[in-house]
Structure 1
Amino acid sequence: MNANHWNNEGFHSHLAEAERITQLAQAGEQMVERLRRTAFLPGATKALNVRLGIAEAAELLGCSTNRIRMAEQDGRLPPPPESDTGRRLGYDIPALLNMRQVLGASPRRSPEDPPAIITVQNFKGGVGKSTVTTHLAHYLAVQGYRVLVVDCDSQATTTTLFGFNPHFAIRREETLYPYLSIEPTEDSLHYAVKSTIWPNVDLIPSNLQMFDVEYELAAAGSGGGGTLASRFRKLKQGLNELAQDYDVVLLDPPPALGTISLAVMQAANALLVPLAATTPDFCSTVQFLSMMSQVITQLQEAGIQVEYDFCRLICSKFNSNDPSHAMIQRIMEQSFGPALLPIPILESAEISHAALRMMTVYELEKPVGTPKTHKRCRSNIDEAMGQIEKLIRLRWGRVDNEKGAALAAAL
């Protein structure tokens, strides 16, 4: 847009205020697309270029480097590609998944184990809900699990972090809308599942038009609870059907107490509540839990069951150098006890830098800041997400080692 069209305050001088909002939205959407294209160059398409050395691969697989080399020597595993100088370039994620299968190191659930359907939920925005969801998805992917991420939020931050532009690349027909609409055109959710650059992570995307579902379901609810209850049951049924092809399903609902959030709340079988270490976040989370308690009671009175295998809170933005954060963490511990996961997610420039590139820390080919900062961040994310993995595996009756058993007791 020509700069001459703007006055000194940066606004069109001849536009009404409401029209300016449209202009601002369009300008912002165009900038998002420019950022996406810049982040994903060359080709403007997101790619997964992470490679792991043999020591890191062995640690992830729980075996020795010698076992990997022997499997390569006897032909069970292909060696990693080499550079022109003969240097091993490391293993990509598909190679790592193949190694898990060949060496019997897959963590996948057995057919009799129920898939975990986890909603990452808080009614307050800005707590890192989408950041937790995407990092958890990618952590589980690296560990070898099959993951489905369902973006139920019309803001579509999770969809964006997976490399899809919700404004330009996702149509309403590709979201949950055709399934949850008052006049649905789909009877199964399989139509909405998209592959991602991660070979073992799929996504049901969202976009702004998902908000239409809120209007429709709210209108249906005002005329009686029957239609609303049927949609709640339909979402749960659809997710249960899809979940049979995965180990873990992660649900990212809107940060508000709306009909979609209620439907997601009752469709899940586990709850993870992220919150930051500030007084307003603590207070709003207490209100969230209070509202959830009331809503669950009302849903159950209406014949809609809500049952969770685990409910945990995780501090999602913790600054270990801030005394106020340490104080709030102690308040959380006193209030929530063992329901608060002991390892918080530390604030890190690496997470922010990765988000600027529409990535998670697990997708960075190399550190954005210093190697020390990256290593500290990655180690913390692994530990924090590992707490949730332990809860999932406990649900399947698995405790892998003494350290895992000790953490399980704490959880």
Structure 2
Amino acid sequence: MHSEIDRISELAEAGERMIERLRKKAFLPEARKGLSVRYGIAEAAALLECSTNRIRMAEEDGRLPPPPPTENGRRPGYTIEELLNMREVLDASPRRAPLDTPAMIAVQNFKGGVGKSTVTTHLAHYFGVQGYRVLVVDCDSQATTTTLFGFNPHFNVTREQTLYPYLSIEPTQQTLDYAVQGTPWPNVDLIPSNLELFDVEYELAAAGSDGGSVLASRFRKLKQGLMELAQDYDIVLLDPPPALGTISLAVMQAANALLVPMAATTPDYCSTVQFLSMMEQVTGQLQEAGIAVEYDFVRLICSKFDANDPSHAMVRQIMEQSFGPALLPVPILESAEISHAALRMMTVYELERPIGTPRTHKRCRANLDEAMGQVEALVRRGWGVAQPASEETVVNAA
């Protein structure tokens, strides 16, 4: 006779099988996620802050290979790889200078459902389009970010591929190099997660009287390991669990910037206030214990904002009054395009063509570019670099 506890196991297994079916359906024919998005010459020029004529001249003089024409003779557009090569040839790479500190941004809120993993993944892909070298570290055992990158945490990721071998009480890895996985994006890498990462929480909780020193050592170890890895990247995005646990605290201490997404509802606002209050207490306790916590910037961003909902507008006004300039001025708008892309385990930046209407897609993409660009501006300001001016702006100014 089956108990209700047995039923939980059956439901979990049925759900995992369905996720695998969805993944295979989304990533046919080889059941692995690919990246097919291409950029026209005008869009490529806008991304590189140059003229289309400069690109054509580089193709004509052989510095750049022209994209092969399709059967109808039209340009198929440039791949991400071709854009990255174009940036190198035309000296349009946004990479940090060797002495600049890599941005290590924790995307955190203890309230679930605020779009934490969606914001993290869209940020990663936005930075990828812009030409930065990005590492995403999924520190959440729920592994939503890992799933959005095309990995099934249950079938494709083992405990040995997560942070576990590095953070466990009896570590088998001394650096984090083992955990870095390539993604369909040539300049975006991932350290994946799965449910077994939660074993770290159990182990440290069971550390007994020596738990305090063990915790402190794990905090320092995660920061050290991430800083070593970060030397090969411009930006590291950390997706911690939505709870105040050992891993969350370690991530908060390892990061040098904090981005807090929150939806425009009263419960989300109240929960975010509680999160900030708890962060203040915890960071104070960590500093008293000799564990430094320093951020280049702390910003909040309103996610899932419906401009046509009066209640959203009211809560956003409350946010502005409460948080002032710490609240980024451009919210992430609620969009069916984001939801439809997520159903395919994708972000809007990975779509070859609109899922809904072209108008909806264009509006969504423009909003995401503007919202994510706010974070990019903060990162570049930390490096002492302003946003590059376009050739058109320079010509008009002259």
TM-score relative to the length of structure 1: 0.94
Distance 2:140 2:325 in 1: 29
| 231, 236, 239: which one aligns with 2:223 | 236
Query: Partner amino acid for 1:226?
Result: S
| 53, 57, 69: which one aligns with 1:82 | 69
Secondary structure class of the residue paired with 2:371: helix
Match of 1:182 in 2: 169
Is 1:33 matched up with 2:16? Answer: no
1:256-282 residue CA offsets vs partner (Å, 9 max, x unmatched)? 011100000000000000000000000
On the 8 A contact 1:221/1:228 being kept in 2, the answer is: no
Secondary structure class of the residue paired with 2:206: helix
Provide structure 2 residue ranges, at least 5 long, that are not aligned to the other structure.
Answer: 391-398
Is 1:370 matched up with 2:357? Answer: yes
| 348, 351, 366: which one aligns with 1:379 | 366
On the 8 A contact 1:51/1:92 being kept in 2, the answer is: yes
| 96, 113, 120: which one aligns with 2:107 | 120
Match of 1:8 in 2: none
Is 1:197 matched up with 2:180? Answer: no
| 247, 258, 267: which one aligns with 1:280 | 267
| 78, 82, 92: which one aligns with 2:79 | 92
Match of 1:329 in 2: 316
Distance 1:234 1:177 in 2: 12
Q: 1:222 to 1:274 in 2, by over 3 A?
A: farther
1:197-241 residue CA offsets vs partner (Å, 9 max, x unmatched)? 000000000000011011112222664310110000000000000
Once structures 1 and 2 are overlaid, which stretch shifts more, 356-365 or 223-232?
Answer: 223-232
Distance 1:309 1:318 in 2: 26
Distance 1:173 1:349 in 2: 36
Match of 1:7 in 2: none
| 152, 161, 167: which one aligns with 2:148 | 161
1:88-142 residue CA offsets vs partner (Å, 9 max, x unmatched)? 1010100000000000000000101110000000011100000000000000000
Distance 1:309 1:45 in 2: 37
Distance 1:402 1:186 in 2: 44
Q: Which runs of 4+ in 1 moved over 4 A?
A: none
Secondary structure class of the residue paired with 1:224: helix
Query: Partner amino acid for 1:143?
Result: Q
Match of 1:103 in 2: 90
Distance 2:94 2:207 in 1: 43
Provide structure 1 residue ranges, at least 5 long, that are not aligned to the other structure.
Answer: 1-13, 404-411
Match of 1:395 in 2: 382
Distance 1:257 1:265 in 2: 10
Secondary structure class of the residue paired with 1:284: helix
Is 1:343 matched up with 2:339? Answer: no
Is 1:305 matched up with 2:289? Answer: no
Distance 1:98 1:186 in 2: 34
Distance 1:89 1:317 in 2: 33
Q: 1:114 to 1:185 in 2, by over 3 A?
A: same
Identical pairs, percent: 78
Q: 1:227 to 1:347 in 2, by over 3 A?
A: same
On the 8 A contact 2:49/2:388 being kept in 1, the answer is: no
| 42, 55, 65: which one aligns with 2:29 | 42
Match of 1:227 in 2: 214
CA deviation after TM superposition for structure 1 residue 252, in Å: 0.2
